[in-house]
Structure 1
């Protein structure tokens, strides 16, 4: 891969965190998609950003970076809830990776070509869209994306064990439902956050409260447990069967992987291997951060993304001959 660097200090990109944005539902392929949009405080420059959440997450997971990203990029930023997650309800419609990939494609057809940012499963979906519809993805930012283990046939036992129950199509939904009922919404959210964040004290308490409220609301969605199980099961199959090929195909747009150093859910080794094996992929490692940098270090994530997007055009057009993959480490966040 060509070495591409940017000059601006990511810590210079610090905006106002926590603006809840404007709810703006989208009607896409017969589905009422819950969406939230943040508009820049100044003039726009023609760019647009689409945010795609991970497994079990929703638009709230993007709230800390929505407004800062819109302001620093001078671009509208839209976050959506995938089918079966958040407040996008479509009983009877699959919540599989392929189905939600088609949904994201249809959203982009409506919004127009965009910078696509995906976290975890959302990153995997973004890769699939970019491989199939490169005309809709101007740049791809993968935040702790779910990627296959770099060594074929190697199973990450600890991570796989967490999702093993959902691999059985007939039992996955009931298992998820029973577990959720046993835990209750507060414990369910806190358990998820314990896996996703390296330091939970960095999360805005008000955002945690609203995540719990949404989790409680979703107990009244009978389709929710089955949707989670289907998404998890098909994600694991996609990781095993086709994602590496799709990442190699998604080479019409530059790709940035931003990965927390202390991710307990997806392997940093996989991100390093993806950057080493694909010339169009760069990797930025965030010290001291877990699986969801947008919740744990929103200012740092916005800074890294903005600096890379500002510099990518000239860098993309002028690769360094014979260079190899580079990994950057961002500066640690200031003590709070």
Structure 2
């Protein structure tokens, strides 16, 4: 963690969001938008690597992480997007790069069309713009309901780990510590995560939004990504006007965690290039 980083709880749109912020006001801003099952801690190494170059703001989404739990059936992505817009306004952020993992990408694309002037660039990691296919919905809804009843234990925990990390990562002895860290964190997730899970499963398509996004986008895609397969990510690149695709071999759904030594320098170089070109 950056030594200057502060953590605080902010009242946003009738709820409380937990926010980590390096607070370096003179620096360009990176707004880090996390995946379902993760939280702002997923960007710890990025915040460290970006220290002195970028101000990194890491909110936990509504009903996730250390933000306030929500008593509802579904947290819709439009609600999460509105939260992020209101958070940016609360912090006085007028321009920001979006560093977006999975669900964070779902939010980023909606934000970029709702507030195009706010978005300087997008790094889209392990994400896509499609709705879940109809043939997958029944199984996913059953999984969400099971988590709501039992939490992340046994087979439910293992299924989540298989979703979040590629097979090569999960079986690599050199990455055992990383995998076990996130297995422990995911096992501690409360059953109250269910509304956020439901919101992602029922997200609907954002493919029609992509041609409206004029900001440069770096798409980071793992060839072992199960929930957002490579053809879904190729589709994003086809529809985004200014996108670059970078595919990683032996990496799953969480490139910034699974291949940090490769991904961090590439992401920072992309952000630097955007800054240099205006």
TM, length-normalised to structure 2: 0.83
1:59 to 40, 59, 64: 40
Matched, 1:216 2:193: no
Distance 1:174 1:196 in 2: 19
Distance 1:79 1:204 in 2: 25
Of the two, which has the highest radius of gyration? Answer: 1
CA distance in 2, matches of 1:144, 1:307: 19
Q: Cα deviation per residue 1:66-94 (whole Å; 9 max; x = unaligned)?
A: 211334xx111121111121121243465
Separation of aligned partners in 2, 1:28 and 1:209 = 30
- Report whether the alignment pairs 1:105 with 2:76: no
Q: Measure the CA separation in 2 of the matches of 1:37 and 1:207.
A: 26
The residue number in structure 2 matching 1:82 is 61
User: After superposition, what is the alpha-carbon deviation per residue over 1:77-132, rounded to whole angstroms, capped at 9, x for unaligned?
Assistant: 12111112112124346511111011111112223021111111110110000011
Other-structure match for 1:287: 249
Deviation at 1:296, TM superposition (A): 0.7
Q: In structure 2, what is the equivalent of residue 192 of structure 1?
A: 160
Asked whether the equivalents of residues 166 and 232 of structure 1 are also in contact (C-alpha less than 8 Å), the reply is no
Pair 1:259–1:33, CA change in 2 (3 A): same
Q: What do the CA deviations read for 1:45-76 (whole angstroms, capped 9, x no partner)?
A: 530111111222212222232211334xx111
Match of 2:201 in 1: 233
CA contact (8 A) 2:147 2:194 kept: yes
- Alpha-carbon distance change, 139 to 57 in structure 1, aligned in 2, over 3 angstroms: same
> Relative to 1, partners in 2 of residues 1:70 and 1:190: Cα closer, same or farther, differing over 3 Å?
farther
Q: Is the 8 A contact 1:257 1:283 kept in 2?
A: yes
Aligned match of 1:249 = 212
The unaligned stretches of length 5 or more in structure 2 are: none
* Correspondences of 1:159-178 after superposition (within 5 Å): 160=136, 163-167=137-141, 174-178=145-149
Q: Contact 1:36–1:80 at 8 Å: present in 2 too?
A: yes
1:314 is displaced (CA, Å) by: 6.0
Check whether the contact 2:37–2:186 (CA below 8 A) recurs between aligned residues.
Answer: no
- Aligned equivalents of 1:188 and 1:62: distance in 2? 25
Alignment of 1:242-281 (within 5 A): 243-251=206-214, 253-281=215-243
Aligned to 1:130: 112
Whole-angstrom CA distance in 2 between matches of 1:204 and 1:81: 25
Partners of 1:177 and 1:292 lie apart in 2 by 24
**Secondary structure, counterpart of 1:49 in structure 2:** strand
Deviation at 1:303, TM superposition (A): 1.1
* Alpha-carbon distance between aligned partners in 1 of 2:228 and 2:134, rounded to the nearest angstrom: 9
Rate the CA distance shift 1:314–1:205 in 2: closer, same or farther, 3 A.
Answer: closer
C-alpha distance in 2 between matches for 1:217 and 1:265: 19
Contact 2:161 2:183 in 1 (8 A): no
CA drift of 1:23 comes to 2.3
Partner deviation per Cα, 1:273-318 (whole Å, 9 max, x = no partner):
3223332122111222111012111122111111112223566x8x
Q: Distance in 1 between matches of 2:41 and 2:54?
A: 19
Other structure's SS at 1:257 match: strand
Q: Distance in 2 between matches of 1:280 and 1:214?
A: 35
